[in-house]
Chains A and B, each alone.
Chain A
């Protein structure tokens, strides 16, 4: 019996002495929803983070009546100047009460200037930190600083960071220009030989005196440094080569009869890169299998017919090939292997790769590509025949 009581006492004292070391009550914390760094004069970093304020309607019954009334800003953006990322993140406490919850960060925004200088020094911290989730999306500012970008309010979504994430995801499934990238992939590609990361750019546009955020361009990195941007067409081309399956997107081709635009959408598309060394030349065989639906036409020609669909398919294939070529050309200009050609070579020719890896920089621009694109129009939604207006 004595033993039992000793055990209980021991457990109890353990519990009490254990205190609550890692305890962090939610009401004493703020949620960091976005974080970013930018350059700052004097070889320092400007760290910026965005904190959403709790929704006012959740504050119990008392405020329920005021729900419709306009409330104050729904987020705050705080910037600090510091030596390192962590230093900056912790200097936030100099002017903000409460402790941070980093786990919910939905996006990481890096400044354009900062990216050009290179973020090799920051990777270490981002990888090691146990709170930073690598499922947040990465953005690179364009012609703006991080704190400017994170201060632009959006009307539809309360918090700009959430808006950015939702914009990049939605454009991917409906429009299909830019490729969203998560922090984990971004960092992984940065340190893996034979592949370089990209990240979508975000810029501020003025519309009627009102500032808005806009996703624009794909930032191309090389050795953890921003070396250039892909335009819209090149970004589309880059997206076709994504290793995971693509769901969603559009293709605008010309009507084979009258040259008016015809829009086909993409349901799914997969790509495969296979390397081949032939007569000392490195050739990448790129296979793209894409299928989609007939979506919209401006002319009145009957296009959803057994005769016309193969023609549409060929046109779509040409369009995709053109976009891919443009992207590859641009990447070779910038000398950044964003497609993972090096990795493909590694898979197919592990021995040659060990030799080539050293001077892949020089070899990459000489890589030839061979495209094999197949596009299929499958269905045409609610009508097969187009409306025949009398005009």
Chain B
């Protein structure tokens, strides 16, 4: 009874995983492209995100027993296993990448001298511990921390609102909405992280209605992204915001309320650690769980440690410098992510539709022959 996750917990996990690294890197990326209309761009991408959330909820409905059996039944045993193997590799890579993005951020702005290995080790240690405890503990953790993070995010927004110049948001849509709409597919990728919820299928309490928390989490993510980018653009202007590596952080640095509430950024980054720890631990858990499913193991625990041991060096060695990270994140990352979270799920979905149609046809056939 206790190893199921409720709708609210699903929502919390989903929103955490959407935000973890995107909130740090995505605003600059968006503002560079859409200038003062970045907030509209993320809303447009969010519409794609909503459609995808619906797609994921359909997959959840179909995969009653788990992701691995679902893929195996759809794609055939060996192709299915190959695809799962690809997913496992990607999960580890994604985990390492997210970890690297976050640690680079921390080391750039707060703890400059700290060797990256120490921070990676500390975060991974916590993540591996959480992943070992299982999804129930992780879900409960998310459920509590979602309040902490939401309250902090709200406080940031409120504190900044007093200091912005709304004129920076003008002009609204000088080139018309179509130009943005064309760019919007690219920025769908933060929302597509909700796909990882499909891998949690066996733990979801109410599979029929899993779509609601997913849709709500994408909606909330749209709200948060949009309002953050809105305020960043209004606080600096888009010229300045495009220069900063971490505009959201630079905005928080500028918070100034009275003589006392200022320079709160360290505290806020500390709260942002929640995001990354939850993301890496969830990905580690998914790796261990899916791997265990593939290998037909009873328990996910034995696979957590190997996963951690792969992620740790990978995340350190993956990039040499910050320019590479940015380049990869801006140019390539979304393509890879979209392949795994949009293209493949879409294929699964279509095949399942086709198969069901076939089944029904067969049934109809047998029915008619019988009668």
User: A and B touching (C-beta < 8 Å)?
Assistant: yes
A residues within 8 Å of B by Cβ?
A: 7, 10-11, 14, 17-18, 21-22, 103, 127, 130, 133-135, 184, 187-188, 191-193, 243-244, 340, 343-344, 346-348, 350-351
**Is A14 a contact partner of B108 (Cβ separation < 8 A)?**
no
Contact B112 A243 (CB under 8 A): no
Q: What's the Cα separation between A243 and B118 when bound, in Å?
A: 46
Which of B112, B118, B171, B240 interacts with A17 by CB under 8 Å?
Answer: B118
Given known A18-B118, A348-B171, contact A103–B112 (CB-CB < 8 A): no
Interface check B236, CB cutoff 8 A: yes
Known: A22-B112, A192-B237. A134 touches B254 (CB 8 A): yes
Contact A127 B109 (CB under 8 A): no
- A349 to B, closest residue via Cβ: B171
B residues near A187, Cβ cutoff 8 Å: 240
B125 located at the interface, meaning its Cβ lies under 8 Å from any Cβ of chain A in the complex: yes
Given contacts A14-B122, A21-B115, A343-B167, whether A134 and B253 have CB atoms under 8 Å apart is yes
- Kindly state the separation between the CA atoms of A134 and B239 in the bound complex, as whole angstroms: 17
Given A10-B125, A22-B114, A135-B262 in contact, is the A130-B237 Cβ separation under 8 Å?
Answer: no
B contact residues around A135 at 8 Å (CB): 254, 256, 262-263
A244 contacts across to B, CB distance below 8 A: 165
A257 to B253, CA, bound (A): 53
Q: How far is the CB of B302 from chain A (nearest CB, A)?
A: 11
Known: A243-B165, A346-B171. A21 touches B114 (CB 8 A): yes
Number of B residues, CB within 8 Å of A: 30
Cβ-closest 4 pairs across A and B: A347-B170, A350-B174, A21-B113, A350-B171
Q: Which residues of B contact A191 (CB under 8 A)?
A: 239-240, 243
In the complex, chain B residues whose CB is within 8 Å of the CB of A7: 125, 129
Pick from A11, A130, A193, A347: contact of B167, CB under 8 Å = A347
- A347 with B122: in contact, given A184-B254, A192-B239, A193-B239 (CB under 8 Å)? no
Closest to B164 in A: A244
Q: Name B's interface SS.
A: loop
Contacts of B112 in A (CB 8 A): 22, 130
Q: Which of A14, A21, A243 contacts B111 (CB 8 A)?
A: A21
Return 19 A-B CB contacts under 8 Å, by A number: A14-B121, A14-B125, A21-B113, A21-B114, A127-B243, A127-B244, A130-B109, A133-B263, A134-B254, A135-B254, A184-B254, A188-B239, A191-B243, A244-B165, A340-B167, A347-B170, A350-B171, A350-B175, A351-B174
Closest chain A residue to B122 by CB distance? A14
Which B143-182 residues have a C-beta within 8 angstroms of A? Answer: 165, 167, 170-171, 174-175
Residues of B within 8 A of A134 (CB): 253-254
Contact A130-B165, Cβ < 8 Å, known A192-B240, A346-B171, A350-B171: no
Complex: A29 Cα to B125 Cα, angstroms: 33
Q: Which residue from A14, A184, A347 sits with its C-beta under 8 Å from B171?
A: A347
Instruction: Tell me, in angstroms, the Cα distance from A21 to B112 when the chains sit together.
Output: 8
Rounded to whole angstroms, the CA-CA distance of A14 and B118 in the bound complex is: 7
Give me 18 other A-B pairs in contact (C-beta within 8 A), A127-B244, A130-B109, A343-B167 excluded: A21-B111, A21-B115, A22-B111, A103-B263, A127-B243, A133-B263, A134-B253, A135-B263, A184-B236, A188-B236, A191-B239, A192-B237, A193-B239, A243-B167, A344-B167, A346-B170, A350-B174, A350-B175
B125–A11 touching, CB < 8 Å: yes
Which residues of chain B from 261 to 317 have a CB within 8 Å of any chain A CB? 262-263
Contacts of A243 in B (CB 8 A): 165, 167
Interface centre among A11, A184, A244, A343 (most CB of B within 10 A): A184
Q: Inside 8 A of A192's CB, which chain B residues have their CB?
A: 237, 239-240
* Chain B neighbourhood of A351, CB < 8 A: 174
Query: How close is A228's CB to chain B, nearest CB, in angstroms?
Result: 25
Chain B stretch 299-342: residues in CB contact (< 8 A) with chain A: none
Nearest B-chain residue to A134, judged by Cβ: B254
Q: Which residue of A lies closest to B165 (CB)?
A: A243
In the assembled complex, the CB of A384 is this many whole angstroms from the nearest CB of chain B, namely 35
Give min CB distance, B61 to chain A, whole Å.
39
B162 and chain A: residue at smallest CB distance:
A244
- Which residues of B are found within 8 Å of A127, using beta-carbon distances? 243-244
Chain B proximity of A197: nearest CB distance (Å): 12
Contacts of B239 in A (CB 8 A): 188, 191-193
A134 to B244 Cα, complex, angstroms? 13
Residues of A close to B170: CB separation below 8 A: 346-348
Chain B, residue nearest A11 (CB)? B125
Cβ of B240: which chain A residues have Cβ within 8 Å of it? 187-188, 191-192
| A11 cross-chain contacts in B, Cβ below 8 A | 125
Residues of A within 8 A of B256 (CB): 135
Chain A residue nearest to B166 (CB atoms) is A243
- Min distance, Cβ B298 to any Cβ of chain A, angstroms: 18
A124 → chain B closest CB, angstroms: 10
Give the complex CA separation of A186 and B311 in angstroms.
Answer: 43
Q: How far is the CA of A128 from the CA of B254 in the complex (A)?
A: 14
Give A335 Cβ to nearest chain B Cβ, in Å: 21
Rounded to whole angstroms, the CA-CA distance of A22 and B108 in the bound complex is 12
A7–B130 CA distance with the chains assembled, in angstroms? 13
Chain A's nearest CB lies how many Å from the CB of B107?
10
| B113–A22 touching, CB < 8 Å | yes
Q: Most A CB atoms within 10 A — which of B122, B167, B262, B263?
A: B167
**How far is A344 from B165 in the complex, measured between Cα atoms in Å?**
13
Give bound CA distance, A133 to B265, whole Å. 11
| Binary contact track B104-148/A, C-beta < 8 Å → 1, others 0 | 000011111111001001100100010000000000000000000
**Bound complex: CA of A22 vs CA of B106, how far in Å?**
12
Q: Please measure, in the bound complex, the distance between the C-alpha atom of A192 and the C-alpha atom of B233, giving whole angstroms.
A: 13
Q: For B110, list chain A residues within 8 Å (CB).
A: 22, 130
The smallest C-beta distance from A132 to any residue of chain B, in angstroms, reads 10
Docked CA distance A33–B125 (Å): 40
Give bound CA distance, A135 to B263, whole Å: 9
Which of A188, A192, A343, A351 has its CB near the most chain B CB atoms (within 10 A)?
Answer: A188
Give the distance in Å from the alpha carbon of A133 to the alpha carbon of B109 in the complex: 12
**Which of B110, B112, B240 has its CB near the most chain A CB atoms (within 10 A)?**
B240
Shortest B46–chain A CB gap in Å is: 25
Give the Cβ gap from B122 to chain A, nearest Cβ, in Å: 6
Nearest-neighbor residue (CB-CB) of B114 within chain A = A21
B321 to chain A, nearest CB (A): 15
Q: How far is the CB of A377 from chain B (nearest CB, A)?
A: 28
Who on chain A is nearest to B163 by CB?
A244
User: Quick one: closest B residue to A135, CB to CB?
Assistant: B256
Chain A, Cβ-Cβ closest to B241: A188
